[in-house]
Amino acid sequence: MKGFGGIWQKFLRRTYSAVNTRECPERGRREQEANCKSILTIAFIGAIAVGSGFFVLFVQPYDILFKLKCTFSDGGEIFEMWRKPPVDLYLRVFLFNVTNREAFLRGEEKLKVQEVGPYVYKELMTHENITFNDNGTVSAIPKHPLVWVPELSEGRREDDILVLPNIALLSIAHVVSDESYFTRLGLNLLIRQTNSLPLIEMTAREFMFGYKSALMTVGNTFMSSWIYFDKLGLIDRMYDFDGDFETVFTGEDDVTKAGLIDKYRGETKIPQWDNPCGNIQNASDGTKFKGNLKPNETILFFRKSMCRTQILEKVGETTSSGLKGYVYHFKENSNDNGKYYPENKCFCSSDRCLPPGLLDVHGCYYGFPIALSYPHFYKADPVVFEKTEGSKPDPEKHTSFFVINPESGLPLDVAVRMQINMALGSISTIANTERFSNMVLPLLWTEIRMYTLPNSLASRFNLYLNVLPVVQVAAMYALFFMGAAFFLVSIVRYFRKKRRSGTPSRTPWIDEEIPSSIERKLSYIPDTRKKMNAKELEVYFNSLIAPLNQELEHHEIIETKESQG
C-alpha cells in the first residue's frame, strides 16, 4: 500500500499538497478587489452625505420653499389667503348715546354721553377682479361686506332707540358757516322749515348705515357732485369702497414685500395729504404685513377709513396660535399735528390745525368736519374734554395692537381701535346748532378685531415655521454625522487592509493554519514519520511547500533507506 496515494493521484491526474497553492492566490486577489470596492463604496456614500449636508447648509432649501409659498401666484397658498382671508374678522361698534338732551339744549349742562355697544358685524374681506401685471404686481378691487352677528352683540339690537347727533345738520352747518350771509340765511330758512334738530332719536342701525334727512335730500338734489348719497350713516361711509382698486406687490423681486400696497386708486399717495404724510406705498391693508421683520423695524398700516397710513412700532414679543409674534402699537404721538413732532406737521390742514390727539380727515369724508382720535379721546389734548362728559379713556380697552409673525408677515391677533368725532367750528350763526359751536363731539368708536387664526391655518403655519426649519437643521446634522461615520469606517478598513498586506509571508494560509510550535507541527505528521531524525524532519517539512512530485521522490528515498537499513 506504500505509495498508493501517489499512484492514485497520478491516475486521477490530480495534484495536492499541504497548501492549496492554486486556489488561494486567486481567491485572495478577488477578496482584495472586493475589499477595495467596499472601501471605495463606503467612502463615496460618506462623500455624498457630507456634500448633501453642505448643500443644505449653503442653499437652505427651506428658504427657497418658503419664498415660493409666500410669493403671490395664481392659485398659490399665500395668494389665496390674501384673496379671501380664511379668518374671522369682526367690526365692533360702540355708539355715544346722549343722556341729557333737553338740559344741554337749554344751556344748563355740558353734553353728557354714554357708551352703548358692542354692535358686532363680521367683515367678509375679499379681493376681487384680480389681474396679474407684468411688473411684479397684482391689481384687485377690495370688498368689505358686513354681516350682523347678534350672538356676539351682548344683547344689543340694531333697532335700539338712541339719542344721537344729527350728522347731516351739523355737517352742513359747519360747511356753510363760512359762506356769505345770504347763503347762511337760506340754510337757516331751510332748517326751520324742515324742523331739523341737532339731537334726534333714531335706531342704532340708522345711525350706522344711513337715515333719511330733508337736508340730505336737498343736498342730493342740488349738489349731487358733492353729496351723491341720499342717506347718511357713519359706518356706511366708512365702508364705501365704490370705485376703489389697489395694486400690491407679488413678491417676485422681493418676497418680503408680497401683499404690500404699491398703489391705491393708481397713486402711491392719497391726495388729502402732502408727502410724506400721504405716502401709502409699502403699507399693508392688514391682510398680510411685511415678511422677514427685524426686531427694530417699523412697518406701515393703511385703512381707507383712517384716511392715512399709521406707523407701527414693536413694543414686545409673544406667542399666538403656537407661532412667534412681534407686538406692535401705533407710533407714539402718531395723531400729533406737528405740535410735538414737526414731521407730523403735514397732517395739519391748511385752514386749521386740530389739538394733538385729533386727526382732521374732512378731506376723506366729503368735507364733513370728521376728526379721528383714539377711543374716548385716549392720549388726546385735555382741551377736547372741556365741552363733553362721559369719556373714560382706558389703555387696556382703547389701545390698538397688532401681533405679527416676523417670518411670514402673517397677522396673528389684531385690534384696530379708532373713534369718529365731529370737530365743529364756529356755527353760532346757523339755526338750532349754536350749542355745538367749537365743540369736539364724539359719535362712535370702532374696533376691527381678529382674535386668532383658524385651527387649520395655525396648524399649517406651525408646520411651515416651527417644524420644517427644525427638520432641515436635523437633516443637515444627520447628513454630516452619517458622512463622517462612513468616512471613518472606510479609513479604518483601509488601514486594516494595508496592515495585513504588509505582513511578510509567502504563504499566509500556512501561517494561519499551521501552529508555530514543533509539538503542534508534529501532530500533523503520520505515526510512521514521528521516528525521523532531525535531518529527515527537515527534508519532510521542506516537502510541504514543494511540488507534490518532488515530495514523493523525497518520500521514496527515505523509504528506500529504511528498507535497506
Q: 150-182: per-residue pLDDT in tens?
A: 999 999 999 999 999 999 899 889 988 888 888
| Claim to verify: residue 486 and residue 561 sit in the same structural domain | no
Please check whether residue 37 lies inside any domain of the structure: yes
The pLDDT tens digits for 94-120 are 999 999 999 999 999 999 999 999 999
What's the pLDDT score for residue 53?
79
Given 453, 482, 516, which residue is the final one in a domain?
453
Tell me which of 86-100, 399-413, 430-444, 490-504 is least confident: 490-504
The parent domain of residue 50 ranges over: 22-86+463-506
| Claim to verify: residue 401 and residue 492 sit in the same structural domain | no
Residue found by looking up cell 364724539 in the block: 442
Please check whether residue 2 lies inside any domain of the structure: no
Please check whether residue 192 lies inside any domain of the structure: yes
| Claim to verify: residue 93 and residue 77 sit in the same structural domain | no
Tell me which of 159-168, 330-339, 375-384 is least confident: 330-339
What's the pLDDT score for residue 51?
82
Please check whether residue 99 lies inside any domain of the structure: yes
Given 473, 491, 506, which residue is the final one in a domain?
506
| Claim to verify: residue 393 and residue 278 sit in the same structural domain | yes
- What percent of the chain lies above the pLDDT cut of 90? 46
Q: Which three cell numbers stand for residue 263?
A: 398703489
What's the pLDDT score for residue 522?
52
Average pLDDT over residues 354-380: 91
Please check whether residue 458 lies inside any domain of the structure: no
Phi and psi, residue 513, nearest 5°: -90, -30
| Claim to verify: residue 137 and residue 281 sit in the same structural domain | yes
DSSP codes, 120-162: EEEE--EEEEEEE-TTSEEEEEEE--EEE-GGGTTT--TT-EE
What's the pLDDT band for 21 if we cut at 50, 70, 90? very low
pLDDT exceeds cutoff 80 at 540: no
| Claim to verify: residue 55 and residue 198 sit in the same structural domain | no
Burial status of residue 171 (CB atoms within 10 A of its CB: 0-12, 13-18, 19 or more):
buried
What's the pLDDT score for residue 492?
81
The pLDDT tens digits for 458-482 are 998 898 888 888 888 888 888 888 8
What's the pLDDT score for residue 390?
95
| Claim to verify: residue 520 and residue 448 sit in the same structural domain | no
What's the pLDDT score for residue 6?
53
Tell me which of 8-17, 90-99, 228-237, 358-367 is least confident: 8-17
Neighbour order of strands in the sheet with 137-143: 126-132, 137-143, 246-249, 261-264
Please check whether residue 431 lies inside any domain of the structure: yes
DSSP codes, 268-280: SB-TTS-TTTTB-
Please check whether residue 120 lies inside any domain of the structure: yes
- Asked whether the beta carbons of 290 and 248 are under 8 A apart, the reply is no
Distance of CA 539 to the CA centre of its chain: 90
Sequence-distant (6+) residues with CB within 8 A of 10 are: none
Please check whether residue 521 lies inside any domain of the structure: yes
| Claim to verify: residue 397 and residue 525 sit in the same structural domain | no
| Claim to verify: residue 336 and residue 353 sit in the same structural domain | yes
- Asked whether the beta carbons of 299 and 312 are under 8 A apart, the reply is yes
What's the pLDDT score for residue 272?
86
pLDDT exceeds cutoff 90 at 33: no
Residue 251 CB neighbour total at 10 angstroms: 25
What's the pLDDT score for residue 286?
92
- Asked whether the beta carbons of 245 and 305 are under 8 A apart, the reply is no
| Claim to verify: residue 292 and residue 322 sit in the same structural domain | yes
Domain count, the chain: 3
| Claim to verify: residue 148 and residue 26 sit in the same structural domain | no
| Claim to verify: residue 543 and residue 563 sit in the same structural domain | yes
pLDDT exceeds cutoff 90 at 231: no
What's the pLDDT score for residue 528?
55
Given 388, 420, 453, which residue is the final one in a domain?
453
